A and B are shown apart, each in its own frame.
Chain A
């Protein structure tokens, strides 16, 4: 019996590999704030990840506490900022998006459960100003 020719196998696998590299996204940001999300029971799945931008709110991790202090801060991409930077961030993010995706633009708020509502209210007011009206309060499933 002749041996099976496997010389094209690496090429095959490589193309699968490249496909995966294109399709999936690596985690883009390093978390500089700690956000321990609240647990909920009535959660919905986020439909389109490509039209979503994320805002992280919490206290800076130990590593960054020296730079950013220990108060609750807002992280936008890789920068730790204040609530008033949200407007520009959202505008920039939405402008880089494809025109067909813009109506589905959603902002996912990943907020620490001990954060005070004041800063969240400020962020929400900024979002309203930027007409980014669809938001998701990100949470983890309550295990029961």
Chain B
């Protein structure tokens, strides 16, 4: 019997491409590409020993105090109070009408366009690209919460405050450069930021009674 060396047939690999395609698609689907969204804030540095004793004095007219209690009632300065209600989905929400009122009051406070003696003092400042601008340089919005305040309400308040700033910036952008804030160049944006700097302070926590 003559033994003939048989040639080994090549492994059929035409389906490997399909298999790896499947793996690729699996990875594309399962991995997260979504970016996180949110409101960014910068916390103040931790207080030093000596800072704790001396309190920073802010003129009364320069400060807008927003207080929230454990029943989620919001007090805006001494202007008005807002009571959020549960909507159909069971989330606590600030009424849109109240939100509008709140936003208008905040905008009025930040800009002080009428130069009212009750609102923050206007200081003339030389801003690049814009020249001499009256700026409420020393204004502060202070947000105070109780330990029992719901985070949802706190977040909505923060969102409204940022919205007020954004409205004013858009308005100034349109007036001076013809475009909304987000469509301006970097220099223009920083000029507008100088006129309306975002100053939302997180008050040092105070303990009223026992923590929950």
Contact = CB atoms under 8 A, between A and B. Distances in A.
The range of chain B's interface size is 35 or more
A69 interface: no
Interface in A2-30: 6-7, 9-10, 13-14, 16-17, 20-21, 24-27
B45 A38 contact: no
Nearest to A44: B40
A140 B37 contact: yes
Contacts of A40: 38-39, 155-156, 158-159
Chain B interface SS verdict (over half): mixed
Given A128-B44, A131-B46, A133-B45, A113 B152 contact: yes
A52 to B, nearest CB: 7
A136 B36 CA distance: 9
A114 B151 contact: yes
B35 interface: yes
A135 B41 contact: yes
Contact of A139 (B30, B32, B37): B37
Interface in B35-58: 35-46
Interface residues of A, number: 54
A138 B38 contact: yes
A13 B150 contact: no
Interface in B141-163: 145-152, 154-156, 158-159, 162-163
Interface stretch (B20-28, B119-127, B130-138, B189-197): B20-28
B27 A21 contact: yes
A116 B149 contact: yes
Interface of B: 13-14, 16-17, 19-21, 23-24, 27-28, 30-33, 35-46, 68, 91-92, 145-152, 154-156, 158-159, 162-163, 166, 202, 205, 211-212
Interface of A: 6-7, 9-10, 13-14, 16-17, 20-21, 24-27, 38, 40-46, 49, 52, 57, 106, 108-109, 111-118, 120-121, 124-125, 127-129, 131-141
